[in-house]
Amino acid sequence: MKTTYILHRSQHNTCPQETHFSLNYEDELTAAQYEVVKNFYGPILVVAGAGSGKTRTLTYRVARMIERGIPPETILLLTFTRKASQEMLSRAAALLDSRCEKVAGGTYHSFGNMVLRRYGKAVGLRPEFSILDQGDTEDVIKLLLDQGGSGKKGQHVPNKKTLQAIFSKAMNKDTALEEIVGRYYPNYLLAIGDIQTLFRQFRAHKLQHQLLDYDDLLVYTRTLLQEHEHLRRKLSDRYRYIMVDEYQDTNPIQAQIVRLLADTHDNVMAVGDEAQSIYSFRGADYRNIMEFPRTFPGTTIIKLEENFRSVQPILNVSNDVISQARESFEKHLFTRKNGGALPVLVPALNERQQSQFVAQRILELQDEGVPLSDMAVLFRSSSHSFDLELELNNRNIRFVKVGGIKFIEAAHIKDILAHLRVLINPLDIVSWRRILLLLNGIGPRTASKIITQIQAEDNAPAWLADFPNTAKYTLNIQRLGRTLAAILDLSPAEQVQALREYYSPILHSRYDDAQKRDQDLEQLHLIIEQFSSLERFLTEMSLEPPSRSIDDIAQTDDADEELLTLSTIHSAKGLEWHSVFVIWLLEGRFPSVYSVDDHDALEEERRLLYVAATRAMTNLYLTYPSFDTQWGNSFSRPSRFLQGISRNHLDLWSLLDESDRYSDDDTW
């Protein structure tokens, strides 16, 4: 039996016991924040509720550690963005002095890059290895596919984008390929053998050519720390104080890297909130934060529950939502702010009425003095805002959409719109080119020749239906022509429905997520039903809203420009607004229909609503349409997450169209 006994450096040698601090930390922080700031040793888990001053707490902790005599070079601050670490360290330097900027701060990937450049020879890497971005990675996969790496069954193998997603999920979730394919891409299970072969070739090719993608930076770093004890101890001794931000968003490999880096000291402080773990699609696993006390025995747990963002009525609703979670740290958000209106629950008759309410209430709030830039509409999926975008355009409410893509920028939506546009304008060369390039056997040169002929014809659909050619693509051209000719005199809604049927084989052949994209086409059909004129519909669909991100807006020359924010909840995390609308709180929409049979996915949907609610500072509106035609012409149930909210915590608003307000007996 061989035992290693670790001699720890004494606290006296590292940090003098008698220290005069230039900052009065206790007075400038809450009691819970000060508890975090004054403790440096052993494992500490800080459960930081939404809006609880987490960044401020970390900033003061860095400053106090350095004032206490801890060398800044021995402190490692791991964050998920370089901007986050730079902000914390620059704030700490402003509080104290420039010593704070000597702290080693950065992302897991930048840390891995540094370690592998210096010590990567131990795992077969040269210091000059290249780093691939996602596009580069997809190109490598495409190269292997073209070389026959798919076992000559390419027709059954996903495209390069889907393969990249499969490989990345398998690596950052530390999960077998077969399990990833079975859970996320079950239609490719028959090709699992080819996918596994391609994955082996993919990894070998990268190593041979010294190419690392983002996932490799983590995987090789973990391997180096696991398999080379002298390097693990060297790095652990160098970074004797580790702070990890947003620990709930770590994937299994990142959590293992933290555990390995703490090998000789266990001085790890993880900060996070399991209730805000919403990035499982990126590999994040909320269990990492839940299991931290088991991973690091003797962990001290400190909870930050005082909220500095929202009024108490909003926090009451947020607490209700997350209290229903099956697994969480018990906490209760509170604020010292006085007053605040109850959050509002607004059932609408249908999506149209929901959009009308949101737009009207936004204008009313603007009249009350709330700037557009202090308001946001949040949603589960990017497609949920399509109808609202039209309503906002109709009312000249300017907005920026963050997360996902705008309706008319989705490729499959643009495909259908191109078919509609040539019905109105047969000379629309751009739309004709898009349409023709969808057809097998037609490339750019052939498309250009056909377009030249189309422009010489008085009736393009009829000419295409009797396409005078014997080429291999003739049947596809004729099918296109017959479809366009048949829908010329139909209503806009009937035209879209017919085009969906025509386009369906193309959709399924081009996109691995065809089923989800077809739901967007159903949404398009529901929207166009509101228009009797195709010309008017196409005109309104071409009104492009602003497309910049929130950060871009902050950097514009026109600082006075006010834009409402439309955002997916995933893109809204970490942000805040005076007034927030959360729309489509309906079963099948929020939670998503894809999550209701998956326990973990359903719990994440609950956390999404918690994140959405805690973005609001003063006003919170929760809305849903009672009637949803996406799943058939039937009434739908409100989101199950609303059931856990105390009715005493909500103000229920009933919507009434102004035209219905008066009757023959009214004497108003």
CA dihedral 73, 79, 84, 90 (to 10 degrees): -10
For residues 53 and 30, what is the distance between their CA atoms, to the nearest angstrom?
10
pLDDT value of position 402: 84
For residues 258 and 242, what is the distance between their CA atoms, to the nearest angstrom?
8
pLDDT value of position 640: 95
Residue 228 pLDDT more than 60? Answer: yes
Q: Is 664 a catalytic residue?
A: no
* 53 carries a ligand binding annotation: yes
pLDDT value of position 426: 84
**Once rounded to an integer, what is the mean pLDDT over residues 552-570?**
68
Q: How far, in whole angstroms, is CA 491 from its chain's centroid?
A: 37
Residue 184 pLDDT more than 80? Answer: yes
Q: Is 245 a catalytic residue?
A: yes
Q: Is 466 a catalytic residue?
A: no
The one catalytic residue in 434, 517, 589, 615 is 615
pLDDT value of position 154: 46
Relative to beta strand 44-48, strand 300-304 is parallel
pLDDT value of position 441: 87
* 31 carries a ligand binding annotation: no
The one-character DSSP state at 265 is T
Q: Is 55 a catalytic residue?
A: yes
* 154 carries a ligand binding annotation: no
Q: Tell me the pLDDT tens digit for each residue of 3-42.
A: 555 555 544 344 445 567 878 889 999 999 999 999 999 9
pTM: 0.77
Strand partners, 106: 78
Question: Which of 65, 15, 58 minimizes the C-alpha distance to 40?
Answer: 65
What DSSP string describes 319-375?
HHHHHT-SS------B-S----PPPEEEEESSHHHHHHHHHHHHHHHHHTT--GGGE
Q: Is 246 a catalytic residue?
A: yes
Compare 460 and 569 and report the one with higher pLDDT.
569
Report the sign of the C-alpha dihedral through residues 273, 277, 283, 286, in that order. Answer: positive
CB 290 within 8 A of CB 45: no
The one-character DSSP state at 538 is H
Compare 80 and 654 and report the one with higher pLDDT.
654
Residue 289 pLDDT more than 60? Answer: yes
The one catalytic residue in 67, 194, 213, 246 is 246
Residue 608 pLDDT more than 60? Answer: yes
Q: Tell me the pLDDT tens digit for each residue of 546-559.
A: 233 333 333 343 44
The one catalytic residue in 30, 54, 285, 415 is 54
**Once rounded to an integer, what is the mean pLDDT over residues 597-616?**
93
Q: Tell me the pLDDT tens digit for each residue of 413-425.
A: 989 998 998 898 8
Residue 632 pLDDT more than 70? Answer: no
Residue 231 pLDDT more than 70? Answer: yes
Residue 379 pLDDT more than 90? Answer: yes
Residue 466 pLDDT more than 90? Answer: no
Q: Tell me the pLDDT tens digit for each residue of 16-27.
A: 455 678 788 899
* 646 carries a ligand binding annotation: no
Q: Is 657 a catalytic residue?
A: no
* 567 carries a ligand binding annotation: no
**Once rounded to an integer, what is the mean pLDDT over residues 588-608?**
89
**Once rounded to an integer, what is the mean pLDDT over residues 320-335?**
92
* 414 carries a ligand binding annotation: no
Please report, rounded to a whole number, the percentage of residues in the chain having pLDDT higher than 70.
89
pLDDT value of position 14: 46
Q: Nearest-5° angle of CA 159, CA 134, CA 572? A: 105
Residue 257 pLDDT more than 80? Answer: yes
CB 112 within 8 A of CB 131: no
Residue 64 pLDDT more than 60? Answer: yes
Q: Tell me the pLDDT tens digit for each residue of 106-121.
A: 889 889 988 998 999 9
For residues 447 and 459, what is the distance between their CA atoms, to the nearest angstrom?
18
The one catalytic residue in 35, 38, 55, 175 is 55
H helices present in 456-555, as ranges: 460-465, 474-487, 492-510, 514-528, 534-541, 550-554
* 142 carries a ligand binding annotation: no
pLDDT value of position 5: 55
The one catalytic residue in 57, 164, 276, 295 is 276
